[in-house]
Structures are given as structure tokens and as C-alpha cells.
Structure 1
């Protein structure tokens, strides 16, 4: 059974937490003891209904404010698929949280309040989804019960959002009219929408194709661990463990170890302790090479026909996540997959206005949540692909050398 990672995003009070609560509740993915706790916490509601938003608002402080501050993750499963949901905050000052939640997402649900239509936050979240190259976008037009389930309201929002999608070159966009509060079109098709002939939200999530999102042509295998038991029984054993990010590896394939550029041949492949003839993304494997090569954590084993870029200077789109402003010349640790290397911000070209995509050249103060185009120089060469071409080998983070806090998310250009 495959796994779909998706994120929900929208403006404040668009109903993201209620939507996720409805998905969990109606798909019977809530444990009995959790349900009893929710019933107790929902006693303040006059109608006696369970407050579904409590399923994702896990922090008491944010619940008391009535908002979701951090990214809340939830897991559930149906007979057809497993799911991990990231509920991103809707406030404008939490852009970095959406970037964090969306970085590994296969799909984004962008909620639109049927009463308000496409607003600034809708565009902002759509721009971030575009920058992060999320393969599938679902526009869930919520609170349709408050506009009398009007087809005209729905159609007008579809037309407005189609313009946004065209401008941002979003890959695959689906539209669904829903009422999260009432459960219309969430798990089951609703009779309130006789004019809508598409699937319910859960049906779409269960059937969206993920196989095509895994790149099986460009083979990338970042080494996470070098296995050398050094026992009498396994005296000559040398294996390279990690997860195949993309591509297919077969016994006998010619491969190149980067950044050194040394060529060798795959002698054996292990999956779950057993030898196999081939392995593919996203399997975790142990590779064995014919030659005795000095390979370390962070090196990348690639097939000779599809070689990535190797450089110690990167052009990146950088989302800044620290309270301290970003300044040219600052030093950090850059991590891409399992590789860590010291780095310096060489230059900042411009700041991107995530509401209009306007480029602000020579920005004066680059603070929390800003997105900028920057040049980063690393102490040693790293192996990468452009983020828009191969997400799994084009994303990196910046880490503060003293506090070890992640201060930036990078999309390599």
C-alpha cells in the first residue's frame, strides 16, 4: 500500500483543521479513547457536536487563541492508501511553516472560502506550492453551505483560480466543492451538489497517481552509512547503505561516485538483508561495488548516463526561517540529503514578493519568512540537481553553526 503525503493550506478560518478532522472522523480513523477525549473537550459547543478542529490543534495555547500556529501532522489510512497530512497555518507571518510542511508533499489542498473567493493568501500559498514544485493541487472550495451550494459561486471561483494556476504554471489542478463542517463531498459524494460530477475529496486522494511522480530515469543514491563489520566472518564486507532517491540500480551497472568522479560497477544489491538483482526509488538498500573506493557519508552514487551537477557555488531560492536577519557574508552549514558542508552567503540578488512574484532588488532587511534569490559558496563541492527538475536532489537546508537550528530552506536553481 503506497503513501500519500499532502498539505492543507488556506487563509485563516477557511476551515483547514475542520476539514482534516472531518476526514479523520468520517473515515473512522479516530481511536475510541481519542474520540471520548474530544467529546469532553467539545462540551462548550451549544449544539453538542464534536469540535473536529481539535483533532489537529494539538497545542493548548493555540487552541485558546482559536488558531493553528505550527504545522500539525496527522496519519490515517483507508483500505486503499496510507496518508500523512500536514496542516499549515494560514497567517501571513508563518510562510516558513508552509514551506516546511510542503517540502515533501505529493499534493496540496488549497482551501478557498466560497464567500470570499480567491484572496491574497490563496495566491501566496499557490505561489509557494509552485516554487516547491508540488505535483498535484486540489482546490477545495469550502463553506458551500453558506452560499446555498450555488453552482455559479463555484464556477466563478474556478475561473478566477484558473488564471492563478496558468500564471504559476501549476501542473495538475482539480476543483472540488465541499462543506467540511457538514461533511459534504469529504468522504462520500454529497446530494447537495447535483451539478458536480467529480469524486469526493477522499476518493480523489485515494486515486491520484503517484508512480509518475517518482523519477526512475535519473539514478541518485546518497550514501548515509558505510557498513564495515570488521569481523572474522565478514572481514571483506563493505556496503554502502541509504535510500535510493530516484532511478533504478541493477547488479552489473556502471556507476560513478561523486564528487570524486570515480567509476566502478555494482557487485551486489541488498534489500532487507537479501540479495536482489535490482532496486529502485524509494527503496532503502545496501550497494556493494567491485572496486575498493574511499567513499564517505554524503557521497552520491549515480549511473553514468545521467550525471548531476557538481559545484561549490549554488544559485538558490531561499526561504529564511530565523528571527535574526539574513546578511551576505554570514556562515552556515549547508545540508543536502546526508551531506553536510560549511557554507557562506556570497550574494543576495533579490527578494521575491510572494503575493505578486515581483522581484525586489537590493532589499534592505531580509527577515523571518522572506524568500530571496541567493548565491551560496560551499567549502567543498556538492552533488545536486535543479529543484524544479528533481526535488529529491535539489532541496537543501542551512543550519546555524552554533545553535544547530535550521535557519533556511533552499531550492537549488
Structure 2
């Protein structure tokens, strides 16, 4: 990929902190990459570096792998968040595990990310090695690489960067990078994934991570950190009608002059904005009221936009509880049946007829799996008929809800188009649910 192509993908607005995750298959070097970013950007203290020494060598992965089980086994289990800043930008990094059994942790991290760095270990792929006749063997991307990239795409992660790692261990690194880049672009095209960049790196040696290793692998673009400094943050759903999930009800305000003695409904604006004088409908009761005041997180009256916390005071007392929604009147049509794409995360397969708890915002309703529409074949990306969905499978299902919910397609609204399914017996998170557009 040329410098011109990369620059065309870089946004000018870099004022906000960028939330990004590293993901991919097992042992692709995700934790080592984050450690390299922290060390080379000079955001790690000397005593921290001293604490990650093994046999006289610095183990960069230990800067993020903090659990004892992670250190003992050399794997990432839970998502570890780290914070650092450069002269141009602040960053929040999530180090997602690569093992299939921890896919739920990866999904959690990706659901709030602005960007994803999907690592690809060049030493694991067949085309990185030469056979006796001098030709490079073609192979397939690892299943978990494809799965993580596809999940990031489904979860509306705005910028997806492929970092081809460990090319320093390949004899003909340029040929390997060219073949792997071709395969990644072909996969992305077939999956509909927009790729921000494909960058050759060595997380262990630091090549093309913070400082560009010019000309290496025939790549003339910026280093990974330079690229991340220019990526855009995810825009809030400002163009979607107002929606507000009530998280907490303040029954007796400590400042009657701001709330006029009425209850304050606190939460985060999911879409649109809220201001005094605005009409709202309470979901599920259907009652309407006018917004008397809007309080920001400092309890000062103001207009609050999507993505920010607010306290809303209505002009009259209504029965509003945690889990209810305040919505723009007549903007949503509540439904009791929806089609959705699910990333199945439970060890127990999803089968038609099972009943789960569905959580949207802070509202719980019972949801029955009416039928399974299809299942995505990770290798071919084709949708195939399925009788059940096993752990880590992705497919489309029809859900029947016990009570109506106000939803929008996930492609239009992250907040109103997403929910999770929770097993009613074990209380384990069973699936991430992304609402699809209603059939015409």
C-alpha cells in the first residue's frame, strides 16, 4: 500500500483520544506490540521495565499481561487497558485475547473501540516459507484472524489496520508481505471490510512500530504509531432521534434549585440530544412529558449531546425507573420480533426454542430464539443453513421478545441496535446481538 493511499485514509481531526484494540490469533504478538508502543513512546517508567525482566531480557508482553495465569502460561486471558499519549494525541489501548474461548472478551473490547489493529503472524502462514522448487506456497489466513476482523467489522469499528508481524524472522520478508497483503485485501473485499492500512512490523525489534523502518518489505508508508495518530474517532449518533436509557433515578435531589424538587433521571444520551422544552415519550409506559431541565455531569443546566451523561428533569411526575427509555415522540416503532446477527459466545450451542434474557441499555426482557436463519462459514464467508450455533459462531437469528423494545438497525445506531443475551440459569453472557434492518 502506497503512502498516498494511506494518507487518504487518515482523518484530519485528531483532537479526541483514540480507543483502539489489538486482536488476532494466539501468539501473534499483540501484548508485545503494546509493550513496544509504551516503551518506544517513553511512557513506561524504569521501575516498570525492571519488573518485566526475564533471564536478563525485557519481556514486553508482561507490561499488559498482568494476571498470574497470563504470566505463567504466556497468554492473554482478559482485556488489559493501557493509557499513553504522544505530542499529537492520547490513546486508550485494549489488549484483546486471541484464544477462541475468550472471544467474549475480545467482543467486549471491540464494541467500544474506534480502531482495531489486527495482528497477523507471518511465521504461521504457509506462503511465508519456500518449497524446494523456489516457489512460495499459498495458504489461508488463520481462522481467528478472519473471525476477529469480521467481528470488528460487524461491531462497526471504524478503522481496521492489519499489522503483519514477525517479518524479521522471514528470509524473503518482502515477498511474504506482498503475498500476505494480497490475501488480506482479498479477504477484506469478500467480507466488505474497509481496510485503513496494512503495515509490516516487528514488535520484538520495534521496526515500523513507533519509528519507520524505511524501505523494509517494499513498504514506504508511515509507522504504525504515526498512522494511529491520524485515525478518526467514532462519531456519535447525533443524526438519530433522541434516545436515553435511564440508569439511575435520583429521588431526592440535594439541590432543589436545579431540579425544582422533582426526580432527576440520570444516564448517558444514546442518540440525538436533549434540551429543555423537548417532548419525550417514556418507554414502555407510553406516557409523554416535557423536559424541564437538563443537567450535565457537573449538575449545571445545559444541552447534552449523544455520548455524554445527563440528568433529565421532567415537567411532571411520571413512573420512570431504571431500565426505562426516554425517546423522541413518534420516532420509534417498538417491536416484539427482530432479526439480528449474533456472535455466539457461550459453550452451550444456540438452538431454536431457547429463552434468554435480552439486555438493551439497562432494560431486561425475555427473548426466545424463534429460528436460526443461517450461519457464516468463517473460511468462505458464505451464509449456510444451520440447526444450531456453536461457540464463537456468527449467524443470523430471529428473536421473539416478551415485551416490545425500541430498536434501530445496528448499522444506524450502536446503542439502539445492540443488546446481549444472558443465560437465564447460569447468568453467563451468551451472545452479542446486532439488530438487522427489517425485511422490506
TM (norm. structure 2) is 0.82
Q: Give the whole-Å Cα distance in 2 for the aligned partners of 1:320 and 1:80.
A: 38
Distance in structure 2 (CA, Å) of the matches to 1:368 and 1:195 = 40
CA 1:125–1:36 in structure 2 vs 1: closer, same or farther (change >3 Å)? Answer: same
Moved over 4 A (4+): 148-152, 230-235
Residue 359 (structure 1) shift: 2.8
Question: Aligned ranges for residues 86-97 of structure 1 at < 5 Å?
Answer: 86-97=94-105
Check whether the contact 1:184–1:192 (CA below 8 A) recurs between aligned residues: no
Q: C-alpha distance in 2, partners of 1:355/1:260?
A: 46
Q: Does 1:177 align with 2:185?
A: no
Query: Which of residues 177, 195, 217 is equivalent to 1:154?
Result: 177
* CA distance in 1: counterparts of 2:22 and 2:301, whole angstroms: 39
Q: Does 1:220 align with 2:243?
A: yes
Partner of 1:266: 291
Is the 8 Å Cα contact of residues 243 and 270 (structure 2) preserved in structure 1?
yes
Give the equivalent residue in structure 2 for 1:84: 92
Gaps of 5+ in 1: none
In the alignment, the residues of structure 2 paired with residue 98 and residue 351 of structure 1 have an alpha-carbon distance, to the nearest angstrom, of: 20
SS of 1:392's partner is coil
The one-character-per-residue Cα deviations of 1:132-188 (angstroms, maximum 9, x if unpaired) are 221110111222323468545434433332222222222352222211111112122
Is the 1:318–1:374 Cα contact (8 Å) retained in structure 2? yes
Q: What is the alpha-carbon distance in structure 1 between the residues aligned to residue 40 and residue 156 of structure 2?
A: 30
Tell me the equivalent position of 2:30.
16
User: Which secondary structure does the structure 2 equivalent of 1:287 belong to?
Assistant: strand
Residue 101 of structure 1, CA deviation: 2.6
Counterpart of 1:254 (choices 279, 283, 286) is 279
Pairing partner for 1:354 from 370, 378, 381: 378
TM-score after normalising by structure 1 = 0.87
Aligned CA distance change for structure 1 residues 325 and 112 (closer, same or farther; 3 Å): closer
CA distance change for structure 1 residues 400 and 160 in 2, over 3 Å: closer, same or farther?
closer
CA–CA distance in 2 between the matches of 1:309 and 1:158?
44
Is the deviation greater in 232-241 or in 366-375? 232-241
Give, in whole Å, the separation in 2 of the partners of 1:304 and 1:185.
52
Summarize the Cα distance change of 1:231–1:18 in structure 2 as closer, same or farther, 3 Å threshold: closer
Residue pair 1:348, 1:373 contacting (<8 A) in 2 also: yes
Report the Cα distance in structure 2 between the residues aligned to 1:149 and 1:215, rounded to whole angstroms: 46
Return the alpha-carbon distance in structure 2 between the equivalents of residues 162 and 308 of structure 1: 38
Aligned match for 1:65, one of 66, 69, 73: 73
**Shift, 1:12, TM fit:** 2.7
Aligned residues: 404
- Residue 222 of structure 2 aligns to a residue whose secondary structure is coil
CA RMSD of aligned residues (A): 2.7
Aligned to 1:101: 109
